[in-house]
Structure 1
Amino acid sequence: MTSCESSTVKLSVDDIFAFSDVELVQYMKQNRRSDGGFCLEVDGWENLPADQCNKLAEILKAGASGANDEVRSCPVDLDAVNARLLAISNEQDTQPQHFSGSPGYERSPTPRIDWDERAKTAEIVAYNELIDAGGRAPYPISLMEKVFKDPEEYRETLLPWQEYPEYSIRDWDKYVFQLQLGRWRVFRMWQKDNRDIDDEEEEFAAFIARERAESRSNDKFTRRQTTESRYLERLRYEFRRAKDVKNVDDQDERFLAFVAEKKRQNIKLGVKWPGMTDNEYQQVLRVEFDNQRRNLRLSVGIPLYWLREDHGRGDFSEYVREAKRRLEKHGFNRTFQLDEDPTRQDELTTWIEYLNYEYSWYDRYERSVHRLQSKYDGTWKELADSGVLRPGETDKEVGEQLCLESKKARTGNSRFTKPERIQALATAHSSLIAAEDAFRTVKRRGDLIIKFTHETWDYWHAKRNLQRQGHLLRWILDQVPVIEAEANEYSARVEKRAFGHDQNDEVSDVGRPSKRIRGLSPAADDAATFVWAGTTGTQSI
């Protein structure tokens, strides 16, 4: 097995990620071994998370492919690179391997990207963010492996977050922590909007603090210096190639203008680069921050004030009165008092306010159904009177078939195009009809069903949203007694502690149940299970 030559250039993972396509191919060619393989020295790759390891492996494979296109010799084998990156990121107990392109090298098959594991990692992150933000998870994190293994067994638990509640749980319907986190973030935004709270600068300051902390934990000063030097080298290379010059002086006015333009573009796009000043760093973070806030509002689909009865014209006191009217209308008669400072509210009050927010969506969907009902009835009567329907065929059957085929089409599981899906509804059992009559019958049936579909799609969409919202509201209402029980348990522990009992009990310093108690239901196992990102299993402590 050929060892790495001493001339191999050692780069950091940031250098590799920053390469252009041309630079990547050139780097791979410079580090090609005599046997056709590649000897790569990459600093810091063993500390990368799983998703970044996958990305690095794909980049190296692309570079190797480009290098092989130019120099056809012994085919490169970077499967071992990918396998090793994944092995290290998953903390598997294996011995270091050399990257070899030798045909005699015995290797295991290249592991496929495990999208399910990636999704689990994203769910864990979403769960923790949801709990930290004061929200409640659909189920305890300790059950996640079981839910992922057999989601249909937990159908009732997952139901409030299903796009099509009437159908079986699919693989992509399992990731409910991320969905609930998104809803909770929008609710928090709604809270501030209805109190005229503008804490954007405070949020931005906290965002900067988080980014700085993460940067300090993931980046060494010496590595930054090396990366900055190589980043400037790449800019010189790009400048020479663009301007067709042989030598570049760092003080050349043309080169300085080129670098300044690169920085301007990076700031505009929210892209960080090595060696940026603190002011430039904050400008980039501002772009990231603004994009996140804008995308969150766009994800709602409508301005949030449209959910208010007065479209947001009333002040906070009117918002409180509206919330009480809405909840009483839906049969929720508990006494509560919202605070102009939402951070001073206890968990139950905040949850009741969240209930009002979701009832606001329910009322909106209900208004849409009522508004579209008369048009729907008329369109269905026209279709029913046409004589093209089969005996006993109902509007619900036609609508459900349409929804099911549309769902399959959006997820890539339908064998039909959109026109073919409509035609499929029209041609069912047409083989029983004589050929000449079948064409005219099928065409007329298809035309009428297409018209019915176009004119009633908004109705079916609103009705399905109303159904889904009803499932979500039932879950929210079920959480009210659970929150009360947790609060009572916490109060009892505080009281015992005040009298000198249960000194070892966990008591939060902020006057509310601890994260563990808020995150797991009372039925959860006593031993909390933590699933670490990048591992293949769980560790219980």
Structure 2
Amino acid sequence: MTSSPPLSPKLFARDLAAYSDAELNRYLEESGRVVEVEDPENLPEDFIQRLRDRAHLPTDKEAPPQEEPYPEGLFATDSSPSTLPPTPDEERYRKDLQGQTEAYYTLVNNGGQPSHPLSLLEDIAKDLGEYCEILSFWQDRDKPEDWKVFMRQLSRWEDFRRLQKFARGQIIVLGQYKTWESFVGRQQHTTGEQGRFPIYVRAVKDRLKKHGFTRTFQLDEDPARQDKLTTWIEYLGYEYWWYDQYALSKR
């Protein structure tokens, strides 16, 4: 059974960064591969790289994800002297479009699925139309006309990816551990089980079943081998966890 991360005393970044490779390996093994320091913002880049080197990396046989190209000149402006400078509202709108477009491509290239095609972005910005109900999931409650949802979708997807990696034994800096404890709830190891993954699989399946999802699926301990549909089902379990957290907060 994987050990829980040490509760006290916490180390400082400079202390952990000074560990030899053998000391670092022992620390990660004893902490369940959770890095907990008083000042994580001070972890030096070379130490973070040492952590990355110890995390699971794709093998040479695994093809890198095919990235969707970012369109060139999408937000180019007319530099003609006769062109009037944009108003503050026009400039804000242009920056919002650019930010949402960048978030869209980052989300897609990281395996996520946006709520609507990028080609509809400007139309939806003018009128949510048939996407009104879909986008409401990502909007603040007091902003029913907000069309800027790709950044929120990207943030949620990245949080899911961190939990997905942590469940499979990869290294994270403390912060995700509280999410982990809440996500798996009271799940415990059964005889012969080791690591976090078996507990995580049961937690995902139990939560989906609770919400009426009955399709059979099998999570892969190596997410690089897992097909897109199964990953999306796994993500659905994560979103249902968020839904349950929200429902509890309203009681």
Task: Tell me if 1:307 matches 2:183.
Answer: yes
Structure 1: 4+ residue segments shifted above 6 A: 311-314
Alpha carbons of 1:312 and 1:149: their partners in 2 closer, same or farther (altered >3 Å)? Answer: farther
1:379 aligned partner: none
Q: 2:231 aligns with which of 347, 350, 370?
A: 350
SS of the residue corresponding to residue 137 of structure 2 reads helix
Equivalent residue runs for 1:89-238 within 5 Å:
90-92=76-78, 94=80, 111-113=86-88, 114-151=91-128, 154-164=131-141, 169-170=144-145, 173-198=146-171
Distance 2:164 2:224 in 1: 10
**TM-score under structure 2 length normalisation:** 0.59
The higher radius of gyration belongs to 1
Match of 1:331 in 2: 212
Conserved? CA contact 2:187–2:199, under 8 Å: no
- CA deviation digits over 1:457-494, x for unaligned, max 9? xxxxx23xx9xxxxxxxxxxxxxxxxxxxxxxxxxxxx
| Distance of 2:183 and 2:132 partners within structure 1 | 30
Q: Distance in 1 between matches of 2:150 and 2:238?
A: 19
TM-score between the two structures when normalised by the length of structure 1? 0.29
Distance 1:116 1:304, change over 3 A: farther
**Preserved contact between residue 201 and residue 219 of structure 2 (Cα < 8 Å):** yes
User: Using a 3 Å threshold, how does the CA distance of structure 1 residues 146 and 130 change in structure 2: closer, same or farther?
Assistant: same
Q: Distance in 1 between matches of 2:212 and 2:118?
A: 32
Which structure has greater helix proportion? Answer: 1
Q: Residue 311 and residue 152 in structure 1: after superposition, are their counterparts in 2 closer, same or farther (change >3 A)?
A: same
Question: 1:337·1:349 contact (CA, 8 Å) conserved in 2?
Answer: yes
> Deviation of residue 359 (structure 1)?
1.5
Identity %: 41
Matched residue pairs, number? Answer: 170
- Asked if the contact 2:184–2:199 (Cα under 8 Å) also holds between the matched residues in 1, the reply is no
* Change over 3 Å in CA distance of 1:144–1:190 after alignment to 2: same
Distance 1:94 1:304, change over 3 A: same
What residue ranges of structure 2 are gaps of 5+ in the alignment? Answer: 1-74, 190-194
Does the 8 A contact of 2:112 with 2:157 survive in 1? yes
Quote how far apart the aligned CAs of 1:133 are: 0.3
The letter of the residue matching 1:331 is G
The alignment partner of 1:161 has SS state of coil
